[in-house]
Structure 1
Amino acid sequence: MSQASTLPAEAAVELAIVTRSGFVESRHIGAAVVTNADATLRAELGDGHQPVFPRSTLKLFQAQTALALGAQLTDEQTAIACGSHSGSPAHVAHVREMLHASGLDDRALACPASWPRDRASRDALVRAGEASAAVYMECSGKHAAMLAACVAQGWPVEGYLAAEHPLQLAIKDTIERMTRERPSAVGIDGCGAPVFAVSLVGLASAASRLATSSAASPFPLFKAAASVWRSVLANGWLIEGHGRPNSIVISELGVLAKSGAEGVLVMAAPDGTAVAMKMLDGSNRASTLVGLQLLVAAGAADVSRVQQLLPRLGLEVLGGGVLVGEIMVGSAVPTSL
């Protein structure tokens, strides 16, 4: 029996290259799609109909589910529920406030213990003799929101990550309704939560629906989607951290950007144009560049503003501390759509 899989290499195209001293040293292959505001497919690079594990891009829809289930979250708490935060004291404070509002504390978190990704915050903990903890894990905001939804519904907080828990069943339903697909596989994400395989087409169309949802919708799920959109755009620094790619794109361009492990990225412009991509080698170093180029090609992002951001995205290749190359879009990425 064949093993469940994402797209094979022969179904991928060149999305990015890495040059060093005039030599193309590496190529990133994968697939990407662009959807219109009405969630219809506009462009497909490689096979965008093959399944992927969306990884942390699902946080947008997990947070949407929590809100629809009655979790009482501030805009900042909603944003960090969508984020893969760096574990700074400000990030951790929002997570703990969410837990305390639900009558819980750090011990309720079922994500693994971790150190902050922010180096200064990690160093401060080490100097203070503190240990790694679940609250510093980049997914702790999502977990706190999940717990808030359980408390709101009167569901048990113990075992909230089990696939058969009513919370996870509700999240699966949200993903199906937003992507208009049934997940082709279910796995366990790095934080311990279920992760559902959908196509890039489904993921991008879900992002388009998120961006175009109305706060006046009579349907709780779409009203919650509008809250997610508003909260993320107003609090970009909570999604990753100051100076990190997702946060830069959100704060500077007003474009939703959420990366996931293993080379996954989703973006959505204010007009509802969305991008979803998967780098087959699992690297995210070129994803933001490619995603922005696709939005520019679709007329959904201003090219001059995007070019101003590029020096802040870590695209330089150094040799002996000197610039000798760069990460560039690949041959399959169009200049216009």
Structure 2
Amino acid sequence: MTEVNEGAVDLVEVIRGDRVESVHRGHIVVCDGAGEIVEAWGDPSAVIYPRSACKMVQALPLLESGAGAHLTSAQLALASASHEGAAVHVAGVNAWLRDLAMSEQNLRCGTHMPYSDDARADLIRAGDRPCQLHNNCSGKHAGFLALSKHLGAGPEYVEPDHPVQLAVRRTFEEVTGMDSPGYGIDGCSAPNFATRLDAFGRAMGLFAGARDGGGLRQDAMVRLTRAMGAEPMLVAGEGRACTDLMHAMGGRVAVKTGAEAVFIAIIPELNRGIALKIVDGTTRAAEAVIAAMLVRLGVLDAGAPVAKRLTHGPITNCRDKVTGHYNVRLR
């Protein structure tokens, strides 16, 4: 295992005029349906926090326990989401909590302003404050609450020794194929378990290779992957990379971003899973690389507007003048 900054390679150049102004470095792994590496850039053994890119893994115990047997595709998408706090997200999580005979007060994700411009403006105009339903992780936390209720466990479900988080850690280590070397506390207060990038890529490969009828875990993986592809607006929101990429691919591929420039893709038709990490934590670089990888694998049209926007730009200034572009290097 190596530190995340060791062995990284140049992946994205930022061009201004005719000069390279900055370079983003990182690591990428592509794994097959058995979890074996088929391509890699940088150092696959780099240790990362997967952050929100692992939400579908965190949701596996919800389904494997039986607690999520009757959940809808929309609820599973919300459980895997980093949503923008728009009305559709808030309403969906709120309805789920009512089904659990719970409320926003039972959440432990904390409060931030919604990422949605419209939702933020609506709150300001109304003189209201955001609540935990607006938190981008509120859907994941509703899933945690559903599992906690099913287990008959206590209310502090984000504590590392709570039955919910013990189940998440056990599942995370099983699908990554390694013991986690530790955890950090995520922005939503839940533990986020560290792992090697190749181990995380293994998990994404297993999701891609899962098939209906393959057993409890594969069935759960299929449900979550399909839900993300079927409900891309719930996974992120209007104009966001995850949503736009999944729309462009017709829901055939599930993609998910994580904070500090982690990104994954699950491609069932190719039995391929992708995991990547940009060392400097810059979102624009992670979005550029995942889009370029999807084009490389033939599941995203290079001419699609979202592909052009994320992999090339152009970069514009406040007067809409073109000042530069991106150049993704996958050599």
For the superposition of Structure 1 and Structure 2, which TM-score range results when normalised by the shorter chain?
over 0.9
Distance (whole Å) between structure 1 residues aligned to residue 93 and residue 67 of structure 2: 14
Distance (whole Å) between structure 2 residues aligned to residue 119 and residue 259 of structure 1: 20
Q: Please, which runs of 5 or more residues in structure 2 have no aligned partner?
A: none
Count of residues in correspondence between the two structures: 324
User: Equivalent residue for 1:125?
Assistant: 123
Amino acid at match of 2:55: K
**Contact kept? 1:211, 1:268, Cα under 8 Å:** yes
Amino acid at match of 1:62: Q
Q: Give the alignment of 1:203-222 within 5 angstroms.
A: 203-219=200-216, 221-222=217-218
Cα deviation digits, residues 267-291 of structure 1 (max 9, x gap):
1222221211111111110222212
User: Equivalent residue for 2:271?
Assistant: 272
Task: State the SS of the aligned residue for 1:11.
Answer: coil
Q: Give the alignment of 1:31-70 within 5 angstroms.
A: 31-70=27-66
Distance (whole Å) between structure 1 residues aligned to residue 291 and residue 307 of structure 2: 10
**Contact kept? 1:275, 1:295, Cα under 8 Å:** no
User: Equivalent residue for 1:242?
Assistant: 238
Distance (whole Å) between structure 2 residues aligned to residue 230 and residue 130 of structure 1: 36
User: Equivalent residue for 1:76?
Assistant: 74
Task: State the SS of the aligned residue for 2:159.
Answer: coil
Amino acid at match of 2:242: N
User: Equivalent residue for 2:9?
Assistant: 13
**Contact kept? 1:274, 1:295, Cα under 8 Å:** no
User: Equivalent residue for 1:85?
Assistant: 83
Distance (whole Å) between structure 1 residues aligned to residue 117 and residue 210 of structure 2: 37
Distance (whole Å) between structure 1 residues aligned to residue 126 and residue 307 of structure 2: 37
User: Equivalent residue for 1:323?
Assistant: 322
**Contact kept? 1:21, 1:325, Cα under 8 Å:** yes
Q: Please, which runs of 5 or more residues in structure 1 have no aligned partner?
A: none
Task: State the SS of the aligned residue for 1:31.
Answer: strand
Of 13, 18, 38 in structure 2, the residue corresponding to residue 22 of structure 1 is 18
Distance (whole Å) between structure 2 residues aligned to residue 300 and residue 185 of structure 1: 36
User: Equivalent residue for 1:189?
Assistant: 186
Task: State the SS of the aligned residue for 1:286.
Answer: helix
Cα deviation digits, residues 93-124 of structure 1 (max 9, x gap):
11111111111010000011111100111110
Distance (whole Å) between structure 2 residues aligned to residue 64 and residue 251 of structure 1: 24
Distance (whole Å) between structure 2 residues aligned to residue 272 and residue 286 of structure 1: 25
Distance (whole Å) between structure 2 residues aligned to residue 95 and residue 33 of structure 1: 33
Q: Decide whether aligned partners of structure 1 residues 153 and 215 sit closer, same or farther in structure 2, where only a CA change above 3 A counts.
A: farther
Moved over 3 A (4+): 302-305, 311-314
Between 138-147 and 93-102, the greater mean CA deviation after superposition: 93-102
Task: State the SS of the aligned residue for 1:248.
Answer: helix
Task: State the SS of the aligned residue for 1:328.
Answer: strand
Distance (whole Å) between structure 2 residues aligned to residue 53 and residue 15 of structure 1: 20
Task: State the SS of the aligned residue for 2:85.
Answer: coil
**Contact kept? 1:57, 1:259, Cα under 8 Å:** yes
2:303 matched to 1:310? no
Residue 38 of structure 1, CA deviation = 2.3
Cα deviation digits, residues 245-276 of structure 1 (max 9, x gap):
10111122122110100111111222221211
User: Equivalent residue for 2:165?
Assistant: 168
Distance (whole Å) between structure 1 residues aligned to residue 305 and residue 103 of structure 2: 42
Task: State the SS of the aligned residue for 2:28.
Answer: strand
Q: TM-score, normalised by structure 2?
A: 0.93
Amino acid at match of 1:284: T
Residue 296 of structure 1, CA deviation = 3.6
Cα deviation digits, residues 279-331 of structure 1 (max 9, x gap):
1111110222212322443x3525445x443244483212442112112203x
Distance (whole Å) between structure 2 residues aligned to residue 273 and residue 250 of structure 1: 16
Cα deviation digits, residues 19-42 of structure 1 (max 9, x gap):
111111110011111112322101
Task: State the SS of the aligned residue for 2:118.
Answer: helix
**Contact kept? 2:302, 2:308, Cα under 8 Å:** no
Distance (whole Å) between structure 1 residues aligned to residue 246 and residue 328 of structure 2: 21
**Contact kept? 1:18, 1:328, Cα under 8 Å:** yes
Task: State the SS of the aligned residue for 1:290.
Answer: helix
**Contact kept? 2:264, 2:274, Cα under 8 Å:** yes
Distance (whole Å) between structure 2 residues aligned to residue 310 and residue 50 of structure 1: 27
Amino acid at match of 1:290: V
Amino acid at match of 1:200: L
Distance (whole Å) between structure 2 residues aligned to residue 295 and residue 23 of structure 1: 27
User: Equivalent residue for 1:290?
Assistant: 289
Residue 243 of structure 1, CA deviation = 1.8
Task: State the SS of the aligned residue for 2:248.
Answer: helix
Residue 212 of structure 1, CA deviation = 2.1
Distance (whole Å) between structure 1 residues aligned to residue 220 and residue 298 of structure 2: 24
CA RMSD of aligned residues (A): 1.8
User: Equivalent residue for 2:135?
Assistant: 137
Distance (whole Å) between structure 2 residues aligned to residue 37 and residue 295 of structure 1: 16
**Contact kept? 1:86, 1:240, Cα under 8 Å:** yes
**Contact kept? 1:239, 1:247, Cα under 8 Å:** yes
Distance (whole Å) between structure 1 residues aligned to residue 39 and residue 47 of structure 2: 17
**Contact kept? 2:32, 2:209, Cα under 8 Å:** no
Share of identical aligned residues, percent?
A: 31
